[in-house]
Amino acid sequence: MKLRSFGLLLLFWLVGLIQTKSVMAKTSINFAPSNLKRDINAEFLLFVNVDTTEKLMGFDLDISYDPKTLSVLRADTGDFFTDRQTLPTLIDQNNGQVSFSQYSPSGRVGTGSLLQLTAKIIAATSSSTLVKIEKTSVFAGVDGKKIIPSIGQAIISSTGRFQESNLDLSPYPTSSTIIPTYSSKEPTIVVQQDIPSPVVKKTNGSLAVIVTLVVFLLGVAALVLIKFKRSA
């Protein structure tokens, strides 16, 4: 009897373990790319992606970074939620933090982008710097239960080189010639338009016809004058 009871307890434990594993969902939030190297002052994109088997309804993210090394220029909403409701994103450059909140009435399961950061390296360092999720609250299911996802981080390093700026001449017409002049202290740019050459029509044939006609008329007039004198 004791052996049978122990067998039933073991069976219930195994069934409960199997059911727990079957409903256990995994949610991970990671950065892409997770490791990159860029020139100083060169802008780059950093995506915050999610991969989940639970129906996510919303989340709050606090992303931290070193404000002495990195500068976050803007934060754009990702494409994970289609019917999203987003609160204004806060970028605190002084303390190196981005706060982002989003909610979806219908929720979603799968993979996608939660946030897209545009940033740049503003100072060279001998070691790499981290961009990581300092605080997160992720809600799943119709009851909005709070889950604990696995969190990744991004490693950002500098090449030590400064990005060179390129002169953009796109506002100027392409058919113009750019001539730099240095007559003053500050160089100026003079735009010299290409003026089309006047078209000269060839009139040699027409001129010959006119000359022939004039000579013919003069000859006729001379004959008439001679005939008039003889008759007189």
How far CA 107 is from CA of 37, 80, 142, 149, in Å, comes to 35, 9, 8, 16
Stated length of the chain: 232
Tokens found for residue 161: 């080189």
Q: Please state whether the peptide bond connecting residue 33 to the residue before it is cis, i.e. omega within 30 degrees of 0.
A: yes
Does residue 231 sit within a domain? Answer: no
70: CATH = 2.60.40.680
**Placement of tokens 């003889």 in the chain:** 230
Per the structure, the complete domain to which residue 48 belongs is given by: 24-161
Beta bridge partners of 77: 115
Does residue 125 sit within a domain? Answer: yes
Does residue 192 sit within a domain? Answer: no
- State the pLDDT at residue 26: 84
Does residue 200 sit within a domain? Answer: no
Question: Cα Rg for the chain, rounded, in angstroms?
Answer: 41
- Give me the number of domains the chain comprises: 1
Burial class (CB in 10 A: 0-12, 13-18, 19+), 40: middle
Burial class (CB in 10 A: 0-12, 13-18, 19+), 195: exposed
Count how many Cα atoms sit within 13 Å of the Cα of residue 23 in the half-sphere of its side chain.
Answer: 6
Does residue 170 sit within a domain? Answer: no
User: Helix H segments across the chain?
Assistant: 2-23, 204-231
Structural contact between residues 69 and 128, judged by C-beta atoms closer than 8 angstroms: no
- State the pLDDT at residue 206: 65
The helix (H) or strand (E) run that includes residue 45 is: strand 43-64
Does residue 31 sit within a domain? Answer: yes
Does residue 82 sit within a domain? Answer: yes
Low-confidence ranges of the chain (pLDDT < 50): 1-25, 166-195, 197-203
- State the pLDDT at residue 144: 81
Nearest CA to 71 among 42, 100, 30, 114?
Answer: 42
Q: Cα separation of 52 and 110, whole Å?
A: 5
Structural contact between residues 49 and 113, judged by C-beta atoms closer than 8 angstroms: yes
Does residue 93 sit within a domain? Answer: yes
